[in-house]
Amino acid sequence: IREHLDYGKWMNRRLHNWAFARLQGRIEDKATEAGIRVEYVNAAYTSQTCHACGRLGRRDEQAEFVCPHEDCHVSEFQADINAAANIA
């Protein structure tokens, strides 16, 4: 639905973020009820940073992360899983 509507740059951004803001609020509510602390993490560079050594690597292909550092045990890894490990 969002792809076919165009209300202008500002309004499109508000409409697109609305569902995510609502989901975020529900997750916060449920986590609070369960006694779980919610922490926000900046997702910048999480798929380009090695989850094992913490240094920047390469993404030659879209879904593949490569850690070029010889002293790190990670050589190739799926980029989304690498990002998830960094966020966790």
Q: What was the pLDDT predicted at 1?
A: 47
| Whole-angstrom distance, CA of residue 88 vs CA of residue 77 | 16
Q: What was the pLDDT predicted at 4?
A: 65
Map out the domains of the chain as residue ranges: 2-34, 41-88
Which tens digit of pLDDT belongs to each residue from 26-84? 999 999 999 999 999 898 999 999 999 999 999 988 899 999 999 999 889 999 999 99
Mean pLDDT along residues 20-26: 87
Q: What was the pLDDT predicted at 14?
A: 77
Which tens digit of pLDDT belongs to each residue from 35-49? 999 999 898 999 999
Going from the C-alpha of 7 to that of each of 10, 12, 14, 19, 57, the distances in angstroms are 8, 6, 10, 17, 39
pLDDT: which is higher, 85 or 10: 85
Q: pTM score, two decimals?
A: 0.64
